[in-house]
Amino acid sequence: MKKIAFVAFMLVVCAAAGRAQESRQDISLSGTALIEPYISSSTNVQVAANAAFGALVSYRFMLTPSSALEANYGITYQNDIHYTISNTNNYMVNTRTQEMSFAYVRSFTYRKYNPFVEAGPSVLIFLPIRNSGTTSLDVKQQTEIGGMYGAGIAYEISPSFDIRAEYRGLVTKVPDFGYTQLDTKRWYNIYNPVIGVAYHF
């Protein structure tokens, strides 16, 4: 009876050790910047913005050693989006931006370096902040569906941790905050550099 119990215990330990070595999941915390390009539209609306800084939390589940599914949530502190209409009327919207996205990730392994590419759908929520930086009270929260793509590299610093640097692009309609005068009928390709640390478990 003791031998059977010992063998069963050893099987459980070996299975747990094997599962621990797989590290099929990871979670990462990163600093980000949202850099929105200048937009000039056919509707006589020009849009410019300063950079927004924030944080991104990501969760990956490995389907195979080289492919994974990823879920992301990001938020920025604030930035100003400046609208100019017919070169005369100016509107400033102080904005906080939230991102929720999902992606398929394909990675490659070269010793401790793991380059990867990813792409998938995204949702961006543009939330106007009611303070002195916002010059129109008519603007409202706006949610836009778009896409996310990116490429980056992870450097393994231990079996449980790596450092990740990535360039991401967020494709979405330029927000008008529910205010028809600000409608550009154009799309953004927002630049989104990311750097952070991931924990594997």
All structural domains of the chain with their residue ranges: 24-200
DSSP of 71-123, one letter per residue?
EEEEEE--EEEEEEETTTEEEEEEEEEEEEEEEEEEE--BTTEEEEEEEEEEE
Chosen CATH of 24-200 out of 3.40.50.2020, 2.40.160.20, 3.30.43.10, 3.40.50.280: 2.40.160.20
What pTM was computed for the model?
0.84
For tokens 């604030």, the residue is 78
Question: In the chain, pLDDT over 90 holds for what percent of residues?
Answer: 76
Nearest partner of 47 among 37, 57, 35, judged by Cα: 37
pLDDT tens-digit readout, 186-197: 999 999 999 999
Q: What Rg do the C-alpha atoms of the chain give, in angstroms?
A: 22
How far is it, in rounded angstroms, from Cα 98 to Cα 23?
29
Residue 18 has pLDDT above 90, yes or no: no
Is the CA virtual torsion 109, 114, 115, 116 positive or negative? positive
Lowest-confidence region among 21-25, 35-39, 144-148, 180-184: 21-25
Lowest-confidence region among 17-31, 110-124, 159-173: 17-31
